[in-house]
Structure 1
Amino acid sequence: MRLHEQGASAPSHRDGFEIGWRDAGGDHRVPLFETSGVEFEAGLPVRGFPSYRGQRHFPGLYWSATTGGHVGFESWLERDHAMLLDFTPEVTGLLSQPFWLFWEDERGKRVSHAPDYFARFEDGRRLVVDCRPLDRIDPRSAAKFAATRAACASAGWGYRVVGEVDAVRMVNVRWLAGYRHPRHGVAEGMVERLLALFSVPSPLVGQASLAGDPIAVLPVVFHLLWQGRLGADLSRPLTDTTLVSRVEGR
């Protein structure tokens, strides 16, 4: 995942941010410093993704194993980063277009921005993510990203601007995402047996075949890789001989 550190100046009044979000109770808008207890990941997107003939990007919905529901995306890049957040075992909540951030720029002009994702981690950390090819960040976007970074720092949240992902890693994650649904991990006794078999690094298919017919066993292996209970080097293409091992503590 590539990160872009913003060099543009933040708004002059860092304590002047407001935030607007939506949940089952309706729309809300308050100063940012009043939102410490808000569970944005449990809310609703503040904007939708229009779809029209001839558009150049590809909006859609991604089913998240983390939330058990759909997460919106506005481009393949956003879809990939939603998938990567879903693939991160420590992420416990995820929402697209989670809120509007409002502030005044150095000229006193009102500005707003809706980040692409909000994620909550199991240790309580919160992360805001914007997705943009790094060579397509114009000055206007850079200024918005810088302001969003300042707002997140003020709130004690993490913030990332992410671009293209390593192609090999993304191919592997997309493959494993095909086995993200919990139905692939319910085979009675199979999960425990596979975790035991891969207690030491072993070739993927050869070791899996010791547990039974690979056609039945491999989907469970891929599900455990998706969950992070098994691990492998995803910087290289997954093959029959990829070394897979149990991840301790998961």
Structure 2
Amino acid sequence: MGAPVGALTAAELEGFELGFSLNGTSVRHSLGASWDTRFEDVDPVREFSWRKGGLGFAGWYYSVTARDHVGYESWLERDRLILLDRDPQVAAIISQPFWLHWDTDDGKHRHAPDYFVRLADGRVRIVDVRAEDDMDDRTREAFAATERACARVGWEFEWAGRPDPVFMANIRWLARYRRARSGSPAAIADRLLEVFGEPKAMWQGAELVGDRLQVLPVLFHLLWSGALETDLGGVLMETDSLVWAEGARPWAG
């Protein structure tokens, strides 16, 4: 959701336009006339392609949230996409959803935010991804303009930097098991939740359920979904990592 346009003055909405592609047709309207578009249905405004010798690492990631492939233009964007895909508050993710256009005394400007995110409660979050040490004046100005535009229509804006490397390595591993098929059979999942009702080492609990080759994919899927928990920061997951069912967090002393 966003702020109702009727509650905003013309002065608050002027100065920004959105350009996007809907069903193959290019559209460009003022921010006030287009902020409530279902951007879940638009096409990315830029292609995601990899070129030999290029600086970027573009690609496509299959999102279980979107139930479709979502594009990214760097490893950092891919990592943020994985984190968004795991976030239970996120209901939809669209990459490069629109061009934001605005003018300054220096001339005309445009910027394509990295992700449009629809949250489960209807709110909108616009996410731009860039590491702090890769920021320059032009990027800072573009992010600042995007944040101003978002504020005018009640959208959230997030500048996402580089995540903790250990935490991200653990999440990348769990993402291999994000698809629903990794969580079956249900009998194994139910048994794992029962066994880890009391915190146990990962392999110790898995062996109580059955053959590790069958059990571990289900265990990793439950860790991805949050039904099982472990400490994902600080150290990489190991066979003796403590695992517990949601709500059964061990006493930290």
TM-score, length of structure 2 as denominator length:
0.87
The one of 169, 172, 175 aligned to 1:171: 169
Cα offsets for 1:139-169 (capped at 9, x unmatched): 1111111000111111211111222111100
Per the TM alignment, residue 24 of structure 1 is displaced from its structure 2 partner at its CA by 2.2
The whole-number CA distance in structure 2 between the counterparts of 1:195 and 1:33 is 48
- Shift of residue 25 of structure 1? 6.1
User: For structure 2, which runs of at least 5 residues remain unmatched after alignment?
Assistant: 1-10, 248-253
Query: 1:96 corresponds to which residue?
Result: 95
Q: Give me the whole-angstrom Cα distance separating, in 1, the residues matched to 2:210 and 2:98.
A: 48
Paired with 1:186 and 1:50, the residues of 2 have a C-alpha distance of 34
Q: CA shift at 1:42, angstroms?
A: 3.0
**Residues 154-196 of structure 1: per-residue CA shift (max 9 Å, x gap):** 1211111222111100110110011111111131322222222
The residue identity in structure 1 corresponding to 2:116 is: F
1:247 alignment partner in structure 2: 246
Matches within 5 A, 1:172-211: 172-211=170-209
CA shift, 1:202, in A, is 2.3
Aligned position for 2:250:
none
Aligned to 1:40: 39
Percent identity over the alignment is: 44
Q: Which has the higher contact order (CA 8 A, sep 6+)?
A: 1
Match for 1:127 among 100, 121, 125? Answer: 125
Amino acid at match of 2:144: A
- C-alpha RMSD of matched pairs (Å): 1.8
SS in structure 1 of the partner of residue 21 of structure 2: strand
Q: Aligned pairs, how many?
A: 236
Distance 1:55 1:152 in 2: 31
Out of 144, 158, 161, which is 2:159 matched to?
Answer: 161
Quote the Cα distance in structure 1 between the aligned partners of 2:236 and 2:117.
28
Mapped partners of 2:152, 2:182: distance in 1:
41
Give the partner amino acid of 1:211. V
Tell me the equivalent position of 1:9. Answer: none
Question: Is the contact made by 1:14 and 1:150 (CA closer than 8 Å) also made in structure 2?
Answer: no
Counterpart AA for 1:52: R
2:138 match: secondary structure: helix
Letter in 1 for 2:212: P
Q: Residue by residue, what CA displacement relative to the aligned partner does 1:39-67 show, whole Å, maximum 9, x if unpaired?
A: 21232111113432211221111111111
Amino acid at match of 2:59: G
Structure 2 matches for 1:138-157, cutoff 5 A?
Answer: 138-157=136-155
Partner of 2:6: none
Q: Is the 8 A contact 2:49 2:59 kept in 1?
A: no
1:179 counterpart SS class: coil
Amino acid at match of 2:244: S
Question: Structure 1 residues 155, 13: closer, same or farther in 2, change over 3 A?
Answer: closer
Counterpart amino acid of residue 71 in structure 2: G
Q: Does structure 2 conserve the Cα–Cα contact (< 8 Å) formed by 1:17 and 1:102?
A: yes
> Any stretches of 5+ residues in structure 1 without a counterpart?
1-11
- 4+ aligned runs moved over 4 Å, structure 1: none
Shift, 1:96, TM fit? 0.8
Instruction: Find the aligned partners of 2:207 and 2:119 in 1 and give their Cα distance.
Output: 35
Partner-residue secondary structure (3-state), 1:78: helix
Residue matched to 1:58: 57
The one-letter code of the counterpart of 2:215 is V
Which of the residues 213, 227, 230 maps onto 2:228? 230
CA distance in 1, matches of 2:136, 2:165: 24
Correspondence for 1:112 = 110
Q: After the TM superposition, which of the residue ranges 74-83 and 28-37 deviates more from structure 2?
A: 28-37
Residue type of the alignment partner of 2:164: D
Contact 1:42 1:93 in 2 (8 A): no
